[in-house]
Structures are given as C-alpha cells and as structure tokens.
Structure 1
C-alpha cells in the first residue's frame, strides 16, 4: 500500500444537524448527506464569490457522522472565515484540522481508515484518504506522483494552477466533471454559473500543455496573442486554463518562445478554435 502525502491540502470537518445544509446551500456541488467513508465517491465542489469566481475548491465526503472537506492551504483561512459567516445560527460545528490531520492519495489499492473515491466525471483518480498526523509516518512525503497523475488527465487545482478569485467554475471544467449541481437551489454565485451554462459563454477551459521548459505562470502564446498561463509543471507537463478561440492552430503554440504541444483532456466536450458570445 502506497499513500502519497498531499501536503498542500488543509482538512476541515463539518458536523451537527445542519452541517449538510450549511455546505450544500453555499457551494456548487452536490454534497453527500450520508456515508461511511469506506470508499464512496467524494463530491467535487467550489465556493464562489457573488461574481462567480472560485474562492475555494476541493472534495467533500461523509464519514463518522461528519463531512470531511479539503482545500488548498493558500485559501484555508479565508474558507474557514467565510463558512463561519455563512453558518450564522445553524447547528453546525466546523473543526479546523490543519494541525491534527493530513490528506493522502492512494491509487494502487484502497487504503484503510477514512477514504473516498477521487472521481471527477469519468476520471477515476484513485482514493483521497484523511488520517491523523501520527498515522502518516509511512506515507510517501512527496506529492509529485499525485500531481503528475491529475495534470496528465487535465484536472486543474486552485493554488497549483490558478489563484483564488481568478477563475470561474466553467473555466476548470466543473460543469463537465460533476462539480456543479444544476438541479439544486440557490448557492453563492449561482446566477453566474447558470448564465454561463445557458448562454454558452465559457471561453476558457483546461488544456494539457506538453514539452514545457518554463516555470509555472509562463504565458501560452497562440497566433501571436496570449491565450492564458501554465499551471504547476511536472516532468514538462502542465494544465493551463486557455482561451480556446485563440488556438486556431494547435501546432503553433509556444511557451517562453519555445514550441509546445497542446492536447484536450479525454473528458473535454469542447474544441480548439471555439468562440463563444461575449458576456
């Protein structure tokens, strides 16, 4: 059994009679109301600003009469502050487990303890597991394997590929990857999400960029114009959130003045060269 530590993730536990309602009413995804933490699929979700930009995103899974959520460390303080504000008088407890628990990733076999299947749309990554710090001593203390796997299938992560308050939910494909519940009631930023869905105004989408010899944040140039920037680079590959309409010729894309390859994720329902109505 090999478990890779995801050191950049922060863990929060939501419990109490109103915990599910609290989360489900403010984030984009369909948060599970029940579960044992024995491998059920974790829900992908995002917490949005009123303008529809992603403030936090991650996975949520039910176990031990609570909902276990992970976010990138860079947004953990803001996420906790906002969720406490939304809690108001709800009967819900939010436990900050950053000092006591860690997030891990397993792929070769199902781990023991609290674990949820890390599946987004058709992409089954493996398992997200959460454990007390003292139980993680034998984990691989390096998350490069995890990031290589998710970059290879075009999954963009906040903090690694884009900052807070920069991307819309559609920009990272949450509408395709089951990270948006289009049937549930209102949540923060829902009007923007709904408008982008019905008007088809998503102009930026995740693209896999290969053969990179430049650092994260470098511009992707297509047709003489910047189409976006690359995210975290592992073994010369990165996910970039790019303007599809600016990539009319995928064979003529550069990063830092050098040619690179671009490919759409296998789950993509979009294409290079697509143009959409302006907002």
Structure 2
C-alpha cells in the first residue's frame, strides 16, 4: 500500500543533551533515546486533561513528535516554556516535513520531507476507518484540547501512560485515577452514525457522551459507561449499535469505584 498523506498532523523535532529528560519530565509516555516503534504520548494540563497527543520516536539522535495541527501552536508554546534553559533544541518542522500512514496499525506513522511526501497518495479516510475500527480516539476529530483525561481514550491500557517513571505534568491526577479505579469514561465504537462530530449519544434519552467524526457510518465515542443501563441507544434520534474495542478491559454498564 502506498503511503497516504496525513496533512492534519504537525511534526516537531527535539534534540540536544537534555531532550530526553525534558520529555521524560513533561509527557505521559516513556520515551527512550533508542530506535524502536513509535510510542503514544500526551501532554497534559496540571489538572490531568490532554492538551496534545500523538506519536513519538527516536531517530538520527533526536525525538520526533507529531500532534494535531489544531494544537500545534499551543504545544510548541508550552514546550518552549517547559524547556526554560535546558540544553534542548525544538524544531518546528511543519514547513519542511510531513506525516503519513502506510496501512499498518493505526498507531504507526511514516515521516518524510515535503519533497518525499509529494509522491505519497493524497489524504483519504482509510487511516480514520482503521483507527475507528480499533476504537482509538484522536484529537481534532474525536475530542478537543482540555476535554478528556488519558483514561477516557484508553491510553492507560495501550501504553500511552507510564505509571512507573515518576512525575510529569498532570501525573498526580492520572495516577490517582489509576490507583482508585475512578475512570468514568471510555472509548466505544458506534455503528449507524449519520450525524456530525460532537453530536450527543444518548441512552434512554439521557446523554452518555458524544461521537467523533464518522466514516461510513462508524465513529468512536467517548462515553460514560455507567449510563448504559439497557435503554435504547441513539445518536440524533436514530438507533445505533455500540461495541467495545478488542483491547478493552471495561464493559458497558460498569460503575467506577468511589473516589
């Protein structure tokens, strides 16, 4: 399969003697200075909400992180603020590099120069369809900045949060949620959607969450699990079907532990 362009992604490169330490102290994932598969990560607010999320890898002596373009400016501003006087160079690669997808798992990517990306296939819905089928929510199409916790999109179950590495921005909130089992919202796959992003999903007429952008009638929704009590599930007054991702350890109808 030819590489498909993903123009919604913005790329940044972090290099320098203290680049790993900066990222280790700030983002949720365990980013190591060694080549390997891309790691899912998030930059959180002090209150534990996701400000930016994406994939990160280490190549050519630097860390390469991508984010949704809607939060690229704020991400760069925050990272420069956290950098202070550390020996880190943050390069904004939006004009020189591009992000694509080669048909592998949804949480993978291809990086190339703008010249290389000119030969890629134009953007289409195939990556989104693959991501939705896997039950993976993505910033920009499924949720906005400062709207969800990492647990709400399953980052705790898919390696996007390192619970052993110690402090990072928002760590106290996320660790408490993990320790106490108080996650209320989780991603589900909704079929039969004929409504735009952010349309409420209702159970027995009661709001349970909202759907992300749909592809061929399917979308990821971030929902309150405890709202699924057997009532009719609808989106824009139309019946829909809800299923759990294959990787889910949660179930519809379950209630979080008391905080």
Answer whether TM exceeds 0.5 for this pair.
yes
The alpha carbon displacement at 1:41 in A equals 1.0
* Secondary structure in structure 2 of the residue aligned to 1:191: helix
Structure 2 residue 238 is matched with structure 1 residue 258 = yes
Match of 2:176 in 1: 195
Match of 1:3 in 2: 3
Match of 2:32 in 1: 32
Q: Is the 1:32–1:43 Cα contact (8 Å) retained in structure 2? A: no
Q: Is the 1:13–1:68 Cα contact (8 Å) retained in structure 2? A: yes
Match of 1:233 in 2: 214
* Cα displacement string for residues 51-74 of structure 1 (whole angstroms, at most 9, x for unaligned residues): 000000001000111100000000
Q: Is the 1:49–1:188 Cα contact (8 Å) retained in structure 2? A: yes
Match of 1:75 in 2: 71
Match of 2:96 in 1: 100
How many residues align? The count is 259
* Secondary structure in structure 2 of the residue aligned to 1:125: coil
More strand by share: 1
Distance in 1 (CA, whole Å) between partners of 2:245 and 2:229 is 17
Q: Is the 2:40–2:107 Cα contact (8 Å) retained in structure 1? A: no
Distance in 1 (CA, whole Å) between partners of 2:257 and 2:166 is 26
Distance in 2 (CA, whole Å) between partners of 1:138 and 1:253 is 44
The alpha carbon displacement at 1:126 in A equals 6.9
Moved over 6 A (4+): none
Question: Of 44, 48, 67, which aligns to 2:40?
Answer: 44
Alignment RMSD, CA only? 1.2
TM-score by length of 1: 0.90
Match of 2:230 in 1: 249
Distance in 1 (CA, whole Å) between partners of 2:107 and 2:203 is 34
